Structure 1
Amino acid sequence: MKYLIRIALAALALLLFMVRNAFSEKLVMETVELRAAKPFKPFKLLFIADVHRRVIRADLLDSPVDIVIIGGDLAERGVPLERVAENIRRLMAIAPVYFVWGNNDREVDEASLRQIFEQSGVIVLDDRSVSLFGNEQLKLVGLDHFAYKPDGFENAFKNVKANDTVLFVSHTPFDFWKVKDAYFADLLLAGHTHGGQIRIGPFGLFKKGSMKVKKDRIELISNGFGTTTLHLRLGAQAEYHVLTVRPKIEADK
Structure 2
Amino acid sequence: MKYLMRIGLAAVALLLHMGRNAFSEKLVQKTIELPTYKAFKPFNLLFIADVHRRRIKAELIDFQVDVIVIGGDLVEKGVPLERVAENIKNLRAHAPVYFVWGNNDREVSEDALRKIFVQHDVVVLDDKSVSLFNNPQLRLVGLDHFAYKPDGLKNAFSEVTEQDTVVFVSHTPFDFWKIKRPYSAQLLLAGHTHGGQIRIGPFGMFKKGSIKYKNNRIELITNGFGTTTLHLRLGAPAEYHLLTIIPETKVDE
Q: Given the two structures, how large is their TM-score scaled by the length of structure 1?
A: 0.98
Partner of 2:142: 142
Q: In the alignment, is the contact (CA less than 8 A) between 1:167 and 1:188 conserved in 2?
A: yes
State the identity %.
73
CA distance in structure 2 between the partners assigned to 1:221 and 1:38 by the alignment: 27
**1:26-58 Cα shifts (integer Å, max 9, x gaps):** 000000000101111111110000000000011
Asked if residue 81 in structure 1 is aligned to residue 81 in structure 2, the reply is: yes
Question: How large is the RMSD of aligned CA atoms in angstroms?
Answer: 1.0
CA distance in structure 2 between the partners assigned to 1:39 and 1:9 by the alignment: 58
Partner of 2:245: 245
Please state whether the residue corresponding to 2:59 is helix, strand or coil. Answer: coil
CA distance in structure 1 between the partners assigned to 2:115 and 2:25 by the alignment: 29
Partner of 1:95: 95
- The one-letter amino acid paired with 1:76 is E
For structure 1, the residue ranges without an aligned partner over 5 or more in a row are none
Deviation at residue 12 of structure 1 after TM alignment = 1.0
Q: In the alignment, is the contact (CA less than 8 A) between 2:98 and 2:124 conserved in 1?
A: yes
Q: How many residues align?
A: 252
- The one-letter amino acid paired with 1:120 is H
CA distance in structure 2 between the partners assigned to 1:102 and 1:116 by the alignment: 16
* Counterpart mapping for 1:104-253 below 5 A: 104-180=104-180, 182-251=182-251
Q: In the alignment, is the contact (CA less than 8 A) between 1:37 and 1:250 conserved in 2?
A: no
CA distance in structure 2 between the partners assigned to 1:180 and 1:73 by the alignment: 26
**1:86-143 Cα shifts (integer Å, max 9, x gaps):** 0000000010000000000000110000000011100000100000000000000000
For structure 2, the residue ranges without an aligned partner over 5 or more in a row are none
Q: Given the two structures, how large is their TM-score scaled by the length of structure 2?
A: 0.98
Deviation at residue 180 of structure 1 after TM alignment = 2.8
CA distance in structure 2 between the partners assigned to 1:10 and 1:104 by the alignment: 34
CA distance in structure 1 between the partners assigned to 2:2 and 2:25 by the alignment: 36
CA distance in structure 2 between the partners assigned to 1:61 and 1:234 by the alignment: 25
CA distance in structure 2 between the partners assigned to 1:175 and 1:220 by the alignment: 12
